[in-house]
Amino acid sequence: MPETNQNLSTPTGPLDIMAIQGVLPHRYPFLLIDRILEIEPMKRVVGLKNVSINEPFFEGHFPGRPIMPGVLILEAMAQTGGMLLMDSAHRPAEKLVYFTGIDKAKFRNPVVPGDRLRFEVELLRSRQTIFKMAGKAFVENVLVAQAELSAALMDK
């Protein structure tokens, strides 16, 4: 993990799951993003989640009609946003992102096994260690969820 303001993203390509695990503390079954496609520092981030029938939540949500829980779509969106905030952090190995609020959440279409979620999260404003972001989730360019996310970047 970089110890300066060096950006996580590189011009040579996306961040894979190993790079994500080097930044976020989440692990199975709660690490809900698979790849970061792009980061524009302090502006926006684009991430992916491949939705598999093997996800543990599908066992009970719902038997015979598996639908990804909306709260987990928001969590994956928040993790994507967390990558944006950690990208700008000074000494990121010493930081954690704590989500402090979710506003204006809307769920527009169900997400089912086989879908690929693309998250687009944009920084709306920041004040010292407090951030507000707007997130959207798409499946094949169809908006399936959106929300405003608030977060704090704190020392571990």
Q: Is residue 139 part of a domain?
A: yes
Say how many residues make up the chain: 156
Give the C-alpha separation, 127 to 125, whole Å: 7
Q: Is residue 6 part of a domain?
A: no
Instruction: Calculate what percentage of the chain has a pLDDT beyond 70.
Output: 92
pLDDT at 113 over 60: yes
DSSP 3: S
What does pLDDT average to over the chain? 92
Q: Is residue 84 part of a domain?
A: yes
CATH of the domain at 135: 3.10.129.10
Q: What is the pLDDT of residues 25-39, one digit of tens each?
A: 999 999 999 999 999
Q: Is residue 39 part of a domain?
A: yes
Q: Is residue 1 part of a domain?
A: no
Report, as an integer, the average pLDDT of 143-156: 97
Q: Is residue 80 part of a domain?
A: yes
By the 10 Å C-beta count (0-12 exposed, 13-18 middle, 19+ buried), 140 is classed as: exposed
Q: Is residue 2 part of a domain?
A: no
| Domain, as residue range, for 91 | 17-155
Answer yes or no: are the C-beta atoms of 36 and 47 closer than 8 Å.
yes
Give the C-alpha separation, 102 to 111, whole Å: 20
Please give the pLDDT value at position 45: 96
Please give the pLDDT value at position 92: 86
Indicate which residues carry an active-site annotation: 61
Number of domains making up the chain: 1
Q: Is the pTM of this model over 0.75?
A: yes
Q: Is residue 5 part of a domain?
A: no
